Amino acid sequence: MFIRFLWIGKTKNPSIRALVSDYQERIQRWIPCEIVEARDPARKKRLDAVQTIAAEGEELARHFPDYGRIVALDEKGVAQTSSGFARWLESEQNAGARAITFVIGGPEGLSPVISSRAHMVLSLGKMTWTHEMCRVLLLEQVYRALCIARRIPYHRSGSQG
């Protein structure tokens, strides 16, 4: 299985960028993965929120793979426990999923076009997080899920494993 993380724009905060890199390296110990930072269409144009969401949706869709599962992150999605998420990820892997692409929209929200194409819409909880923090939270939860599936104690002790 291959995991792709797809989001709008570069991670600008150096502390967050370091965490993203750290978790990506951890995940790559067990599963090949990549991060795709799609072009931010609102960066060069003055767009209102609706136009921004639509433009970002088009940009994200350009990076969708021809195969595999798409998981969109959205506050209106399904919230899971870490162990439930781990079971889902493991079942996808055991079912022979070739790839899973996790998609995070821009700060204005996720395009309905992306949500409608997703196999699952996932929520990171009811609280609001910055767009860049969502990246770290997602990567950490994928790493945690891999640890749970491998019975590595990271998920119980909170260690940095």
Q: What is the mean pLDDT of residues 117-132?
A: 93
Give the per-residue pLDDT at 10.
Answer: 94
Ordered by start, the domain boundaries in the chain are 2-157
Per residue in 8-55, pLDDT (tens digit) is 999 999 999 999 999 999 999 999 999 999 999 877 778 888 999 999
Angle at 112 between CA 35 and CA 118, to 5 degrees: 55
Residue 2 to residues 9, 97, 108, 118, Cα–Cα distance (Å): 22, 8, 28, 17
Q: Report whether 101 contacts 4 (CB < 8 A).
A: yes
The pLDDT confidence band at residue 156, using thresholds 50, 70 and 90, is: low
pLDDT, average across residues 134-143: 97
- Write out pLDDT tens, residues 92-124: 999 999 999 999 998 888 999 999 999 999 999
2-157: CATH topology: Alpha/beta knot (3.40.1280)
161: confidence class by pLDDT, cuts 50, 70, 90? very low
80 pLDDT higher than 90: yes
Instruction: For residues 42 and 53, give the distance between their C-alpha atoms in angstroms, rounded to a whole number.
Output: 9
Q: For 134-144, what is the mean pLDDT?
A: 97
